[in-house]
Amino acid sequence: MMLISAHLTKILGTRAGSVKMLPDYGLPDLNNMGLSLDDTLRHSRMIIEKMIRTYEPRLFDVHVTVEEYEGCLLRRTFSIGAALDIAGVKKSIRFSALLGGDGKISIV
């Protein structure tokens, strides 16, 4: 589980366009999309889901939701639910991706 968490941190912590051989690897600046707050959150959720589905093959049935947050609009928490196949047994797992005001993401 720690290896998956570390890999998610790497995937989601990489800025889009910074890996020349994989131009779609990484996230755009989620705090600076030029969209309304609702559109930004919806778009961010979809991008995170796509990145995990594409670059973390151990996870399937990936679903990302945005947690309600009443504080700073630039800080968000995304709940990541997925399934993991362990020796033929499907296990549900959950992570939280914390997007800081500086644009950095940490996985817990």
Among residues of the chain, what percentage have pLDDT more than 70? 90
Helix/strand/coil for 83 = strand
pLDDT at 30: 67
Predicted local confidence at residue 41, as pLDDT: 82
Number of domains the chain is built from? 1
Closest CA to 95 of 56, 38, 69: 56
Does the pLDDT of residue 8 top 90, yes or no?
yes
pLDDT at 101 over 80: no
At residue 71, does pLDDT exceed 80?
no
Residue 29's CATH number = 3.10.450.40
- Cα 19 from Cα 9, distance rounded (Å): 15
Domain span including residue 23: 2-107
**How far from 15 is each of 7, 79, 84, 88, 104, CA to CA, in Å?**
14, 20, 26, 34, 9
